[in-house]
Amino acid sequence: MLTIGKLSDAAGVKVPTIRYYEEIGLLPEAERSAGNQRLYGQKAQERLTFIRHARELGFPLDAIRDLLSLSDRPNQSCAAADAIASAQLAAVEARIARLVALKAELERMLVQCAGGVIADCRVIEVLGDHTKCHADHAHAGHLIEVAG
C-alpha cells in the first residue's frame, strides 16, 4: 500500500491533484490507515497513471471518465474508445490549424513592421485593430496557455 505522497511520486501526479481526482470520482476513495492516512494499492496507481497519460494527450476530464468506465469492462468492443480518441484527434487538429493561422498572422505582422518608432509600428497597429488581421485567431491565443 502506498501513501498519497508515495503514490504522487510513483505516478508523477501532485498530491492536490490526486485529492481532486478522488473528489470528482475519477479515483475511488482511498482506504485509510489506523491513523486516518490515505492508502492506495496497485490498481489506484495504474488508474492514476492512466489519467495522467490521458491528460498529457489533452483528453478532457469527461472523456477520461468515459474511457475509465470503458476500461472497467474489458470484454466489450473498443468502438466507443475509438470514437472518444477520434474526437480528441479532431480537436487537436482544429487547435493546430488555429495555431498555424496565429503563427502566420504573427509572422505577417512582424514582416510588415518597419522597425522604426512606435508611432509607425505595424505590430502595435495590428494589435490595436483586429480588422487588420487576415485570419480569425481570437481563440488561438488561449491555446498557448492551455498547451504551455
Strand partners, 40: 2
Question: In this predicted structure, what is the pLDDT of residue 148?
Answer: 41
Average pLDDT over residues 1-19: 94
pLDDT band of residue 147 (cuts 50, 70, 90) is very low
Residue 3: CB partners within 8 Å, gap ≥ 6? 37, 38, 39, 40
Q: Domain 2-59 maps to which CATH number in 3.40.630.40, 3.40.190.10, 1.10.3720.10, 1.10.1660.10?
A: 1.10.1660.10
At 60-84, the pLDDT tens digits run 999 999 999 999 898 989 999 999 9
Strand partners, 39: 3, 31
Domain(s) of CATH 1.10.1660.10: residues in the chain: 2-59
Residue 12 confidence (pLDDT) above 80: yes
C-alpha–C-alpha distance, residues 111 and 80, integer Å = 47
pTM above 0.85, yes or no: no
